[in-house]
Amino acid sequence: MKISNTFLFWVLQLIGWGTPIIINASAKYSSPKLSNIYVTAETLILIISGIIASSLLRVFLKRNITFNKFNRKEWKFIIIGYIGASLLFSSLMFLAIPVGNLLNKTEITLSSLLIISSIVNAFVFMFFWLVLYLSIKLTRQYRSNQIKNLQLETALKDSELNTLKGQINPHFMFNSLNNIRGLMLEDVEKSRDMITRLSEMLRYSLTKNKIDTIALKEELEMVDNYIELSKIQFEDRLQYSFNIDGTLLNVEIPPMVVQMLIENAIKHGISSLRQGGSIHLSITELQKQLIIIVSNSGVLTKNSSSTHVGIQNIKKRLALLYKEKASFNLKAENNTVIATIKLPL
């Protein structure tokens, strides 16, 4: 059950004021000059006085202090509130004098020593109360800020992931539709198949952009559709092969990661080669890691803007989902570009 701040405050008030004052009173019960009735009345007056003064100080601080960071103006309010509450507490303490004269066996005189000691005690008690109150308030505020920051960070992460997962190349969709329109004049049945594949890709992108991971076999279906649609344009210029460990088909991976590697290989590799080229997809397991490798004919371009959209998309998503547990590497060797992703299993 969650305890409210108000309930917790009053519990701490009773314990905080009651404990030291009752301990102090316990020594007075054995005094021959003070009656037990007087000591009890004095104890109640001191506890009530402390609670009243500190409660008013709390109200004053809540109205004038933010409890996030203390500037000069807020420190001024703290000092003013502290002095005022201490003087109020000491004034209320003097009520024990007339009460004592009514209940005690001997008359109690209000001496200068008694006045000074009461004021000093009031300032000391109120100082410790103020330090404790500010410590609890700042601690709760710090924890609250931490929770808010974590919630904000989570919301930003989810928002960024959803944005990244929604970055499907619109040019590919337009090109596919134009290619299918041209294909209709040659092969109606194949055109229907391509329309089905394109609709599956659209449905995939719309339904999977709210989840972080999917089964590998679902991603491979997306890749197969992408390859078949790309072959309408590239025909024999695009050769595709794969080597996939069948035991890994149910492994969860981020959606559209493999598809983006394939898209990048076609867009910045095969399309720039007049004679075309080949793409090979390899998915294996090594040392409790899922190894995804996409290699394609071509060379890495020095123009960073040509490949950065898809590559940066993949890097950001891996960093958000796996932090340092996942890695991405892109290199070129022997007229072949090799993209490697390693995910923890």
Same domain, yes or no, for 143 and 180? no
Total number of domains in the chain: 2
User: Which of these three, 158, 180, 214, is where a domain ends?
Assistant: 158
Same domain, yes or no, for 111 and 178? no
Q: What is the rounded end-to-end Cα distance, in angstroms, of the chain?
A: 39
Same domain, yes or no, for 198 and 107? no
Tokens, residue 174: 């337009």
| Residue-level pLDDT at 58 | 87
Confidence of residue 140 (pLDDT cuts 50, 70, 90): confident
Same domain, yes or no, for 28 and 100? yes
262 or 183, which is more confident: 262
Same domain, yes or no, for 333 and 193? yes
Same domain, yes or no, for 181 and 48? no
Same domain, yes or no, for 149 and 196? no
H-helix or E-strand containing 171?
A: helix 170-183
User: Which of these three, 128, 158, 188, is where a domain ends?
Assistant: 158
Same domain, yes or no, for 73 and 212? no
Q: What CATH number has the domain bearing residue 177?
A: 3.30.565.10
115 or 308, which is more confident: 115
Same domain, yes or no, for 15 and 37? yes
Q: Is the separation of the CB atoms in 29 and 36 below 8 Å?
A: yes
Which residues have CB under 8 Å from 162's CB, separation 6+?
209, 210
Residue pLDDT, tens place only, 148-182: 666 656 555 655 555 555 555 566 677 777 778 87
The packing angle between helices 216-234 and 170-183, to 10°, is 60
Same domain, yes or no, for 322 and 197? yes
Instruction: Read off φ and ψ for residue 332, nearest 5 degrees.
Output: -130, 135
Residue 280: which domain range?
Answer: 166-344
What is the Cα–Cα distance from 172 to 174, expressed in whole angstroms?
Answer: 6
User: Which of these three, 109, 136, 158, is where a domain ends?
Assistant: 158
Q: Provide the residue type at 293 as one letter.
A: I
Same domain, yes or no, for 136 and 194? no
Same domain, yes or no, for 59 and 191? no
Residue pLDDT, tens place only, 318-344: 887 787 888 898 888 888 888 999 998
Sign of the CA dihedral with 343 first, then 262, 264, and 167 last:
negative
